[in-house]
Amino acid sequence: MTLPVLLQGETSKGQLLQQFVSAGNALLVATSSFWEGVDVRGDTLSLVIIDKLPFTSPDDPLLKARMEDCRLRGGDPFDEVQLPDAVITLKQGVGRLIRDADDRGVLVICDNRLVMRPYGATFLASLPPAPRTRDIARAVRFLAIPSSR
């Protein structure tokens, strides 16, 4: 099976999204900046792959200022600033997949920190309840089941 491949940056976000929806079976490669304002319902979007947990770059000036403020108040910048921000951003990305009660799909998070670091549990707890697996074959079987739409 050949899928049309659409890449962020080749055209405007609106045009790219329109091409994706019109194709019905395309592969859209985009960064987290694409997550905002995207509403694709139904079978058109059935798989979201997130390559890494969405922590803001430590070089970001706003993040640096917020972390310093947290430190000055005696807080823990990672637990009180970086982690909550990343959790919210991940939830936004995951929210692209399931838009209503009839939607179904597979979320793949490739970052092993999700299971190797203690803070991974915070990310997992923030996600909607759903079956979880590290077995790719199980995910492929799920995607092969026709939806009831």
In whole angstroms, give the CA distance from residue 103 to residue 112. Answer: 27
Query: What is the pLDDT at residue 44?
Result: 84
Query: What is the pLDDT at residue 116?
Result: 97
Does residue 55 surpass a pLDDT of 70? Answer: yes
Residue with tokens 């403020």: 69
> What is the CB-side half-sphere exposure of residue 90 using CA atoms within 13 A?
26
% of the chain with per-residue pLDDT over 70: 98
Mean pLDDT of 12-36: 88
Mean pLDDT of 81-93: 95
* Architecture of the domain defined by 31-144: 3-Layer(aba) Sandwich (3.40)
pLDDT in tens, 88-129: 999 988 888 888 888 889 999 999 999 999 999 999 999 988
* Full-model pTM: 0.84
Identify the residue with better confidence: 28 or 70.
Answer: 70
Does residue 148 surpass a pLDDT of 70? Answer: no
